[in-house]
Structure formats: structure tokens, C-alpha cells
Amino acid sequence: MAWVDIVITLAVLQLFWFALLVGKARGTYGVKAPATSGNEIFERHYRVQMNTIETLVIFLPSIWIAAHYWNPVYMAALGVVYLIGREMYRIGYVREPARRSAGYGLSLLPTIILAFAGLIGAVLAVLH
């Protein structure tokens, strides 16, 4: 489970990094708190952070539960794909929002797999 714990911690730190980038963009583009609009580039950073929070709410319990029933190394590997996808999403979205799709898919797919793996593992445990 240590590999899963590392991936979970990296996902949390990645979100923290995205939040720092939002703060930097807020200063760079003069968007004063509590405003969440006013400059398109700032808004892109902000949406990356918000979308990552929305995705993380699904990813974190999914990887934890899946790793409880299946090989944690494989579940952690899916988590690494999620992390790479989130970074690709961030880069694509900030450069040009239309280019975010590959990164979004690369972070969504492992999340869905982990959620179903956790569900299947729990159901099989109940049936046995």
C-alpha cells in the first residue's frame, strides 16, 4: 500500500501546486480576491484547479478502495497515469482550452477503472 500512499500524496501535492499557480496568476493578471474572473489566462488556471478538485473527489476514494482488493502496485500505476493526465490537462488548458481533452481523458479513464475495480472487489468480497 505504500505505493498507493505515495500516489495519493502526490495527487494532493499536485492540487496544492495548481492552487499556487492560481495564486500566481491572480497576481500576474491583477485579479483581486474574491473575484474568479477578469482575465482569461487566470480563469484557465482557476478552472484547472477547480476541475482537479472535482476529479480528486472521485479519484482518492477510488484508488484507496481498489488497492484494498487488488494489487496495490497496479492500482498505484493507474494513479500515476492519473497524475500525468492531470498535468497534461493543466498544460493544454492553460495554453488553449480546446487542447485539454487528451489530458482530461488520461486522468478520467484511470479514475473510472479504479472506481469499478473498487466496486467489483468489494462485491466479490461480500459474495465470498
pLDDT tens by residue, 81-121: 999 999 999 999 999 999 999 999 999 999 999 999 999 99
Cα distances from 30 to residues 24, 73, 77, 88, in angstroms, run 10, 44, 39, 26
Neighbours of 63 (CB within 10 A): 28
pLDDT confidence of residue 81: 98
- Give the CATH number of domain 2-123; options: 3.30.465.10, 3.40.50.970, 3.40.47.10, 1.20.120.550: 1.20.120.550
**Confidence (pTM):** 0.95
pLDDT by residue (tens digit) across 30-72? 999 999 999 999 999 999 999 999 999 999 999 999 999 999 9
CB 84 within 8 A of CB 59: no
Neighbours of 12 (CB within 10 A): 12
- Tell me phi and psi for residue 104, to 5 degrees: -65, -45
pLDDT confidence of residue 65: 98
